[in-house]
Structure 1
Amino acid sequence: MSRSPLRRLLILFALMLPAGCGVGTQNDLRDNALFAYAGAIRWGHIDDAWSMVDPDYAREHPMTALDRERFEQIQVTGYQVKGSEMLSENEMLQLVEIRLINKHTQAERTVQDRQRWRWDPQLRRWWLTTGLPKITAGTT
């Protein structure tokens, strides 16, 4: 039995728990989204991470089969937030260092992921507006 539906349910639960209890603040929901996204990237749950990408970005930059294959050939060995900055109440930047190993070559490397997140007040959730990390060689 695939665990993917269970993982999705747990991520959705983590994102919605504070809102469902009536005590979730925008900051709580942001922290939950960042935590869930980091976990999805760390454990290679790319579909779960992709579900947090802004729908407008996803429409303009759909994930290709090649993109998916690239994520399947790496193992994330580290995910460290190097800095974050609130640009406004509804937008933030985050710089993350991601260490990864190519499963085929066993070569380790590091990429910098510059994330921009935005708050959607209608849906009461945060969206990643910069897409998934650029993991191909030579990108930062």
Structure 2
Amino acid sequence: MRRIATLCVLAGFVLLAGCATDQRNTTLTATLNAYGSTVRWGDFASAEQFVDPKVREAHPLTPIELSRFKQYRVSDYDDGQGPVPTGENEAQQVVRIGIVNLNTQAERTLVDKQTWHYDPKAKHWWLTSGLPDLTTAR
């Protein structure tokens, strides 16, 4: 009888862990979709809200960086195969972003290597790699 009770308790823990993982994955998908939509519309001020608050505090955007984001229009956002888990609470995603310089109308592409971290207490995914670096566009 004890073995059955023990097995039932263990099965319950496995199911709860599976539910937590499903919730974390669902939250990641929703976060990546929202972030991708925000970047597609070129709203980098709003996209900054996806960046981990600790990263934002340590590396605030300068007025020059903000004006640089306003100088470009996003023409493409290709998240390829989507996120790849790199740990229990971490995922990485490589995105190709097409941008057009509004002054010269020159189009370039940059590769944005995103690292996302899940905060289990807040049940929220945060971008820890920061916003795309427009200076790397080719």
TM-score (ref. length: structure 2): 0.80
Query: What corresponds to 2:93 in structure 1?
Result: 94
Does the Cα contact within 8 Å between 2:109 and 2:137 map onto a contact in 1?
no
| 1:60-84 Cα distance to aligned partner (Å, 9 max, x none) | 1101111110110100000001343
Output the CA distance in 1 between the equivalents of 2:75 and 2:137: 18
Structure 2 unaligned segments of length 5 or more: list them.
Answer: 1-21
Runs of 4+ in 1 over 4 A off after TM superposition: none
Q: Which is helix-richer, 1 or 2?
A: 2
**What is the RMSD of the two structures over their aligned residues, measured on CA atoms?**
1.5
Residues matched between the structures, number: 116
Output the CA distance in 1 between the equivalents of 2:58 and 2:100: 29
Output the CA distance in 1 between the equivalents of 2:88 and 2:29: 14
Output the CA distance in 1 between the equivalents of 2:102 and 2:31: 28
Query: What corresponds to 2:117 in structure 1?
Result: 118
Q: How far does residue 46 in structure 1 lie from its aligned partner after superposition?
A: 1.3
Structure 1 unaligned segments of length 5 or more: list them.
Answer: 1-23
Query: What corresponds to 2:14 in structure 1?
Result: none
Q: Secondary structure at the match of 1:62?
A: coil
Q: How far does residue 104 in structure 1 lie from its aligned partner after superposition?
A: 0.3
Output the CA distance in 2 between the equivalents of 1:88 and 1:126: 13
Q: How far does residue 89 in structure 1 lie from its aligned partner after superposition?
A: 2.4
Does the Cα contact within 8 Å between 2:108 and 2:137 map onto a contact in 1?
no
Output the CA distance in 2 between the equivalents of 1:122 and 1:51: 18
Corresponding letter in the other structure for 2:75: T
Output the CA distance in 2 between the equivalents of 1:66 and 1:25: 38
Does the Cα contact within 8 Å between 2:94 and 2:111 map onto a contact in 1?
yes
Distance 1:91 1:124, change over 3 A: same
Query: What corresponds to 1:51 in structure 2?
Result: 49
